[in-house]
Chains A and B, each alone.
Chain A
Amino acid sequence: MRNKSPKIAVLSGKGGTGKTLVSVNLASVAGESLYIDCDVEEPNGHLFFKPERVCEEGITVKVPEVNEDLCGGCRKCADFCKFHAIAFIKDKPYVFEELCHSCGGCALICPDQAIDERERVVGRVQRGISGGVRVSTGVLNTGEASGIPIIKRLLEPHGLQEGLPVFIDCPPGSACAVMESLQGADFCLLVGEPTLFGVHNLRMVHDLVRLFGKPEGVVLNKCLAEENPAELFCLEKNIPILGRIQFDNELGKLNSDGRIAARERPRFRKLFASLLEEVMKEVGHETAAHTQR
Chain B
Amino acid sequence: MKQLLILSGKGGTGKTTVAGAFIRLSEAKAYADCDVDAPNLHLVTAQAREPKRTAYYGLPKAEIDADRCVRCGRCEEACRFQAISAAEFKVDPFACEGCGVCELVCPVLAISLKPAQAGKLMLYREGDRVFSTAELKMGSGTSGMLVTEVKKQMVEASQEGVQLAIVDGSPGIGCPVIASLSGVDMVLIVAEPSISGISDMDRIIKTAQRFRTKIGVCSNKYDTNLANTQKIESFCAERGLPFVGRIPFDSEAVKAVNRGQTVVDVPCSSGSAVREIFRETLKLLFPEGVGVSPGA
Contact = CB atoms under 8 A, between A and B. Distances in A.
A16 B13 CA distance: 7
A208 to B, nearest CB: 5
Interface in B36-53: 36-38, 40, 43
Interface string A41-65: 1101001100000000000001000
Interface string A133-147: 000000010111111
Nearest to A62: B80
A103 B138 contact: no
A140 B224 contact: no
Interface stretch (B24-32, B171-179, B235-243, B269-277): B171-179
Interface residues of A, number: 58
Interface residues of B, number: 60
B73 interface: no
Nearest to A105: B101
A80 B257 CA distance: 47
B76 interface: no
B101 A196 contact: no
Interface string A83-109: 100000000000000000111110011
A245 B18 CA distance: 26
Interface stretch (B156-164, B198-206, B287-295): B198-206
B107 interface: no
Contacts of A47: 195-196, 199
Interface stretch (A156-164, A168-176, A231-239): A168-176
A258 B37 contact: no
A82 B98 contact: yes
A281 interface: no
A176 B143 contact: yes
Given A82-B59, A253-B225, A255-B194, A179 B141 contact: yes
Nearest to B200: A42
B1 interface: no
B268 interface: no
Contact of A105 (B16, B100, B173): B100
B62 to A, nearest CB: 11
A20 B170 CA distance: 18
B40 A200 contact: yes
A173 B136 CA distance: 10
A255 B59 CA distance: 41
Contacts of B143: 173, 175-176
A67 interface: no
A131 interface: no
A172 to B, nearest CB: 4
A192 interface: no
Given A15-B171, A145-B175, A82 B100 contact: yes
Nearest to B143: A175
Contacts of B178: 143, 145
A211 interface: yes
Interface in B239-273: 254, 257-258, 260
A196 B78 contact: no
A203 to B, nearest CB: 10
A47 B199 CA distance: 9
A172 B176 CA distance: 12
A195 B261 CA distance: 12
A195 B257 contact: yes
Contacts of A200: 38, 40, 43
A31 interface: no
Contacts of B98: 82
A252 B105 contact: no
A220 to B, nearest CB: 15
A28 interface: no
B117 interface: no
A21 B203 CA distance: 20
B139 A208 contact: yes
Interface of B: 9-13, 16, 35-38, 40, 43, 59, 78, 80-81, 94, 97-101, 104-105, 136, 138-139, 141-144, 170-178, 192-197, 199-200, 203-204, 206-207, 210, 224-225, 228, 254, 257-258, 260
Interface of A: 13-17, 20, 39, 41-42, 44, 47-48, 62, 80, 82-83, 101-105, 108-109, 140, 142-147, 171-179, 193, 195-197, 200-201, 204, 207-208, 211-212, 229, 249, 252-253, 255-258
Given A15-B13, A193-B12, A256-B195, 16 more contacts: A15-B10, A15-B11, A16-B171, A17-B12, A41-B174, A41-B177, A42-B204, A44-B199, A142-B173, A173-B35, A179-B94, A179-B139, A211-B138, A249-B224, A256-B192, A256-B196
